[in-house]
Structures are given as C-alpha cells and as structure tokens.
Amino acid sequence: MEKLALFGGKPVRTKPLPTINDKSGRNIGDEELKLLREVVESGSLFRYSGKMVSRFEEEFARFLDVKFAVASTSGTAALHIATGAIGLGPGMEVITTPITDMGTIISILGQNAIPVFADIDPETYTLDPESVEDRITDKTKAIIAVHLFGLTCDMDALRDIAEDRNIYLIEDSAQAYLAEYKGRLSGTIGDVGCFSMQQSKHMFTGDGGITVTDDEEIAWRARLFMDKGWDRKAVGPRRYVMLGFNYRMTELQGAVALAQLRKVRWVVERRRRAAEKLTDRISEIDGIEPPKVPEGYKHSYWLYPIKLDSSVIRASVDEFARALKAEGIPATAGYTGIPVYMTLIFSEKRGYGGTGCPWICPLYGREITYRRGLCPRAEEILNRLITLPCNEFFTEEDIDDIANAIEKVAKYYRAT
C-alpha cells in the first residue's frame, strides 16, 4: 500500500492549489482598477457624495430581479440590517442553524434577541423544517435560513412555516450566490436576503454585504438602519427616526463590488463544472460521500463538503484532514468544529458587558439551555464532515490531484 505523506510518503501534490487568498484563485484586475480610479479621481469616497454604491445597489437588484438592495460593510452587517429592519428586539426569538458563522448569530444578539437552534438535514446540512417547527414558540419573530456551502435550504417548507406562523423568513445567502431552489435564486425567496462580499465569497470586496427585499417598508427601514437611523429625506434639522448603525459601504468598496458583480456568474459556472467533475471522480470511493444535490436544486459550491462513512473509514475527521493536507490538498475538519451553541458565549451565556443579557432580559422571562445534545444530527455530522476548496481556477490536473489524494487517504484508512 502506498505510504501516506503524513507518515513520510511522497505527497500527491507539491504545487499549491489556486487559493481565494491571492490572485492565483481570484478574478480581479483591470475592471476593478478602472472603477477605483474613477472614485479616487472624483475625490468622493463617501457613498452619499458618490455614485458607485448606488449603482451597485441598482445593478444587484436587477441581477436578482428584486425591487430593493441596500449595500453595507460586511455580510454580518447585511444580516444585522435585516433583523433591524423587521423590528427584532428584546424578548424575541430567532430560529437558525447551529452550523454557521458567528455573523449569523450577531444579527440576533445585536438586537438583544434570543438565538434558538434547530437541527439539520443530514443530507444537505441545512435546516430541517420539522426541527424548526418544533422550536417555534409564541416569542418566535423570525427564521434565518442559512444556505450552507452553496446549497439552499428546503425553502418551500420553511416558507410555509413562516407564513402559517406569521413570522419573517430571512435568507443568509453569504455562501450561496446564484444557488437555485426550484428555479428561484437564493436570497429572493424569503422576506429578506443577505449576501457577503468577504474575501472568500463568490464575489468579494475584502469585506462587504448587501441586503435585498421586495418589501418596500422593510427596504425603507433597512436603509435607515444602515445609516444610523437617519431620515435623509427630511427637511430641516436631522431626523433620527430609529436606532441604527453606521454600516455604510464606501465608494471604494462599491467600485470593486460593481466590477465583481459582472464576474460572479462566470465564477459560479466554473465552480459548478469543477465540483461536478470532482464528484464524478470520487463518487465510487468506498467510505466517502460527496455532496448530494436534491432534485430541483442548483449548488454554487462555496466549499466542497465530503462526509466520511465512519463504518468504513477508520480515522477521525481531524486525522483524515491532516492526511489530506500532507498530500498537498487543503482540508478542514468539521467546518466550524463544534455547533455554535457549544461555544463559550452560549455555554456560559456571555452577554453584554459581562452580564447575562439578552437572556436575563425581563421581556424574555424564560430559561433557555444550550448544551451538548441540543441538535444531535448537527453534532454527528460535524464529526464526519470535511470541507475542501472549490475554486473557479481549478484545472483538470487540480481536480485529478484532489481526487487522487482523497482516494489514497481513504484506501489507507479503510485498510487500517
């Protein structure tokens, strides 16, 4: 049997793969520089004295065929704008997934509201609608559906729940540009959709975000929330009409975002082709489960998740990921490692200023416990999940090397 590089054998690959961290794996260049030059030469870097951010918002709304778009400083800001715009506040609950970035959760805690975690579907790794329904109480204000790795949630089921219970449905589409659910684009199915432009996303400005909706009232409140609650249409003294934050995107970010928007379809199409080729290569490897895409869905592959069959592969995800890295293939064990509710902020309820807020808010008046076993399927999946990069610049050779490394490592841990 071929010796693993982890134990001194020859690695499958020594040349680095294209990466999202530099130009080897990012489509950025003259188009961005041209628009950045326009901004710098205009001397107007502030969004309300320039035109780039407004142009980006208009083009993004047309791109998704929605009525309104509000740009901001990050994906976290985009989500916080959404929760602010729907009127989330103290004593209210929001149901979301335990496998997500903290940015999703900040949008809830930032409004002094209570995160409630529902379990996941073990095939798609997204929210299980039955678990969501089980978690709803008279204090539930919204569901945040996180479209993980580039695959949407079961949006028909979540939409039905939200409409039946008269609660909001927010889409966290940070990882899911141009992902589709039954012919509809990610971010356009719920009441509000939120996107990130952090360095690793399908389109990027380093950091940046945008919130979209077809609801005029939500859009109006979103724009206020993004701009410190300032009603700029009012005549006379400044009118701050709601509590908001300064989440204004700069013209420099807007210029890069505008150029990137014109490339994102190409990025997603290239990633789909790369991922489909990789799936073809590894689908017959015993003990390895490539991502499953249900009928009617289109994956956009922010990352490429594989699941280990623990009855076949005799290695932890940590050891398997280390072995892949040694073969020259970047790999991450478990994605977030643990469900977000098992981090200290939840297990010890570390709230504002060292207090227990928002959990001890009198408007809430309940005890909620975050503990191991809260979402057993999520916990089990994270112990079997490995994420691999999926890049628009992957070549056939790159895909072959990734597949060969997976096959080599899987064969070793099947035998031992």
Domain of 395, CATH number, reads 3.90.1150.10
Domain membership flag for residue 289: yes
Percent of the chain with pLDDT over 70: 100
Considering the domain architecture, whether residues 258 and 268 belong to the same structural domain is answered as no
Domain membership flag for residue 83: yes
Query: Does pLDDT of 30 surpass 90?
Result: yes
pLDDT at position 403: 98
pLDDT at position 293: 97
User: Scanning the structure block, which residue is given the tokens 């505008």?
Assistant: 258
Q: Last residue of a domain, which of 229, 263, 297? A: 263
Considering the domain architecture, whether residues 13 and 159 belong to the same structural domain is answered as no
Domain membership flag for residue 294: yes
Considering the domain architecture, whether residues 310 and 227 belong to the same structural domain is answered as no
Number of domains in the chain: 2
Considering the domain architecture, whether residues 147 and 174 belong to the same structural domain is answered as yes
pLDDT at position 200: 97
CATH number of the structural domain spanning residue 116: 3.40.640.10
Rounded to an integer, what distance in angstroms lies between the CA atom of residue 378 and that of residue 176? 20
Query: Does pLDDT of 93 surpass 90?
Result: yes
Domain membership flag for residue 124: yes
Q: What is the dihedral of CA 399, 402, 408, 409, to 10 degrees?
A: -160
Considering the domain architecture, whether residues 191 and 126 belong to the same structural domain is answered as yes
Q: Work out the pLDDT band at 1, boundaries 50, 70, 90.
A: confident
User: Scanning the structure block, which residue is given the tokens 């807020």?
Assistant: 357
Q: What are phi and psi of 289, to 5 degrees?
A: -115, 110
Q: Which domain holds residue 325?
A: 5-25+264-336+378-415
Q: Decide: 415 and 7 in contact? Cβ < 8 Å.
A: no
- The mean pLDDT value for 46-61 works out to 98
Average pLDDT, rounded, for the chain: 97
Considering the domain architecture, whether residues 210 and 129 belong to the same structural domain is answered as yes
Please give the radius of gyration of the chain, using alpha carbons only, rounded to the nearest integer.
22
Query: Does pLDDT of 71 surpass 80?
Result: yes
Considering the domain architecture, whether residues 117 and 225 belong to the same structural domain is answered as yes
Q: Last residue of a domain, which of 238, 263, 288? A: 263
Considering the domain architecture, whether residues 91 and 138 belong to the same structural domain is answered as yes
Q: Last residue of a domain, which of 239, 263, 287? A: 263
Domain membership flag for residue 346: no
Considering the domain architecture, whether residues 218 and 176 belong to the same structural domain is answered as yes
Rounded to an integer, what distance in angstroms lies between the CA atom of residue 265 and that of residue 271? 10
Considering the domain architecture, whether residues 282 and 204 belong to the same structural domain is answered as no
Query: Does pLDDT of 47 surpass 80?
Result: yes
Domain membership flag for residue 281: yes
Supply 101's token pair. 């970035």
Domain membership flag for residue 122: yes
Query: Does pLDDT of 220 surpass 90?
Result: yes
- The mean pLDDT value for 28-32 works out to 98
Domain membership flag for residue 169: yes
pTM above 0.95, yes or no: yes
Counting every residue written for the chain, the total comes to 416
Considering the domain architecture, whether residues 51 and 97 belong to the same structural domain is answered as yes
Considering the domain architecture, whether residues 211 and 279 belong to the same structural domain is answered as no
pLDDT tens for residues 319-331? Answer: 999 999 999 999 9
Rounded to an integer, what distance in angstroms lies between the CA atom of residue 105 and that of residue 110? 8
Query: Does pLDDT of 235 surpass 90?
Result: no
